[in-house]
Amino acid sequence: MKIENIELRRVHIPLVRPFRTSFGTSSERAVTIVRVTTADAEGWAECAADTSPLYSSEFLDGSDLVIRDHLIPRLQALGDRLTAERVAGAVEPVKGHAMSKAALETAILDAQLKEADISFGGYLGAVRDTVPAGVSVGIMDSIDELLEAVAGYLEEGYLRIKLKIEPGWDLEPVRAVRERFGEELLLQVDANTAYTLADARHLAGLDPFDLLLMEQPLKEDDLLGHANLAKRIRTPICLDESIEPARDAATAITLGARSVINVKPARVGGYLEARRIHDVAAAHGVPVWCGGMLETGIGRAANVALAGLPNFVLPGDTSASSRYYEQDLTAPFVLENGHLRVPTGPGIGVEVLPDVLAGVTASVTDIGFST
Ligand code: NPQ
Ligand code: MG
């Protein structure tokens, strides 16, 4: 495949409501959109990093530099041998920076699949036409506000609720949601690394609420701590931040540090690695679900395709566009009976709306591409 240009574009999109997690509050999503131009196609992707390195060590300004100065030159060095499947190997000497690598690989894969007239779902091996949608609900100022928000999402049709928790916002909100909405509700929590093993007894206090899982209670590098915690609480532990390459998934499974894995293509370095994690987990009977990073329609389209693979057995954070954005960068993803439709067109299968994109663009850099 022959790339003619790579463009990096910083956009800022307002969120419909502030989103508070244990690591901070966002009222807009800043994101870098990557556009790869070839003779016959345009490939699109977004870098999931945030403006500050709080979810993980990556952040957008750093990511733009890594893509420009360290990743793209390694792809140029491949010459005519460049394919999406060769991107990960070519950038492997660069340590870390999974989200930056994922964005670049995904934009190239989109262009390649559009040239070949194959959809993401078809390429990755999706077996479903629609995927069940869950929603991630931020930390709120009061229990009443939380109950109102959850009631609204359930009315819209979301099939699973994930509550963000932190010390001081855990047992009471979970109890209130369970009591108000009943034992049938699929309910889980996400701590984004806010606890330590010393909180084990406190976290066991969530056991009576029959949660599907507790996501990432401890630090990202604390697999052993999670394995220990798993022996002290009944709620299944799900890892998010701890799992980068597929080898991490294998390690976590061997240690007994998890019973479920949140697969986020951005965090693991792209859709090809995400598929490998899906496969490793499936081979061990470990269920997975598709996480989210407040993606625009560009990233959401590819996530929904991934969530169509067979071992994605729990509803993901694959919410409708309206969960985050009044105006998405593509035609909005909408809930149909609690499900999102897997796009079937070539590549990511959705078109970027040029006027909307222009309206939210803060800066554009043409990096070029020469071999
Ligand atoms: C998670 N996502 O599962 C993440 C965390 C997250 C849907 O809960 C800006 C950029 C804001 C990235 C907020 C969901 C974010 C962000 C939350 C990621 O842990
Ligand atoms: Mg998470």
What is the pLDDT at residue 259? 86
Query: Among candidates 36, 59, 35, 61, which has minimal Cα distance to 48?
Result: 59
Nearest-atom index, ligand 1, CA of 262: 3
Residues with CB under 6 A from ligand 1: 19, 21, 26, 29, 50, 55, 136, 190, 192, 240, 291-294, 317
How far, in Å, are 60, 164, 167, 212 from residue 152 at the CA level? 32, 17, 25, 21
pLDDT (tens digit per residue) in 200-217: 999 999 999 999 999 999
Are 287 and 281 spatial neighbours (Cβ–Cβ below 8 Å)? yes
Give the Å distance between the CA of 101 and the centre of ligand 1. Answer: 18
Cα Dmax for the chain? 62
> Which atom of ligand 1 sits closest to the CA of residue 241?
19
Indicate the residue type of 241: E
The total of other beta-carbon atoms located within 10 Å of residue 228's CB is 16
For the chain, residues with pLDDT lower than 50 are: none
- Residue nearest atom 16 in ligand 1 by C-alpha distance: 293
Distances from the Cα of 341 to the Cα of 107, 111, 129, 306, angstroms: 21, 21, 6, 12
Residue 256: its pLDDT value, please?
A: 83
Measure Cα distances from 231 to 59, 239, 349 in Å. Answer: 34, 15, 44
- Position in ligand 1 atom list of the atom nearest CA 264: 3
The answer to whether 46 and 34 have CB atoms below 8 angstroms apart is yes
Q: What is the pLDDT of residue 366?
A: 96
Token readout for 124 is 């990755």
What is the CA(268)–ligand 1 centre distance, in A?
Answer: 14
Q: How far is the CA of 358 from the centre of ligand 2 (A)?
A: 31
Identify which of 294, 317, 324, 325 to mutate to test ligand 1's pocket (most ligand atoms within 8 A of the CB): 294
* pLDDT the model gives residue 277: 95
CA-closest residue to ligand 1 atom 6: 293
- The residue whose CB lies within 8 Å of the most ligand 1 atoms, and thus the one to mutate among 11, 32, 46, 55, is 55
Strand order of the β-sheet with 187-190 is 134-137, 160-164, 187-190, 214-215, 237-239, 260-263, 288-290
Q: Please give the DSSP secondary-structure letter assigned to residue 332.
A: P
Q: How far apart are CA 184 and CA 159, in angstroms?
A: 11
| Separation CA 223–CA 157 (nearest Å) | 35
Could you give the 3-state DSSP secondary structure of residue 350? coil
Instruction: Return the pLDDT at 257.
Output: 73
Helix/strand/coil for 171 = helix
Residues 6+ apart with CB under 8 A from 177: 146, 147, 150, 161, 163, 185, 187
Catalytic residue positions, numbered: 164, 264
User: Which amino acid is it at 355?
Assistant: D
- Which residue, chain included where needed, has tokens 């894969």? 109
Alpha carbon distance 266, 282 (integer Å) = 20
> From CA 181, how far away is CA 188, in angstroms rounded?
13
Are the C-beta atoms of 178 and 206 separated by less than 8 Å? no
- pLDDT of 245 reads 83
Instruction: Give the closest residue to 362 by CA, choosing from 7, 4, 13, 1.
Output: 13
Q: Could you give the angle at the alpha carbon of 308 between the alpha carbons of 38 and 356, nearest 5°?
A: 50
| Tokens standing for residue 288 | 């997975």
Question: Of the candidates 57, 115, 160, 140, which has an alpha carbon nearest to the alpha carbon of residue 346?
Answer: 115
Tokens of 120: 């993401």
| pLDDT 10s digits, 248-264 | 888 888 888 778 999 99
Query: What angle (nearest 5°) sits at the alpha carbon of residue 282, between those of residues 210 and 266?
Result: 85
Compute the distance between CA of residue 291 and CA of residue 203 in angstroms, rounded to an integer: 22
Radius of gyration of the chain (CA): 20
Question: What residue spans of the chain are helical by DSSP H?
Answer: 60-66, 72-76, 84-91, 98-116, 120-124, 143-156, 171-181, 200-204, 223-232, 246-255, 265-268, 271-283, 297-306, 354-360
C-alpha 192 – ligand 2 centre gap (Å): 6
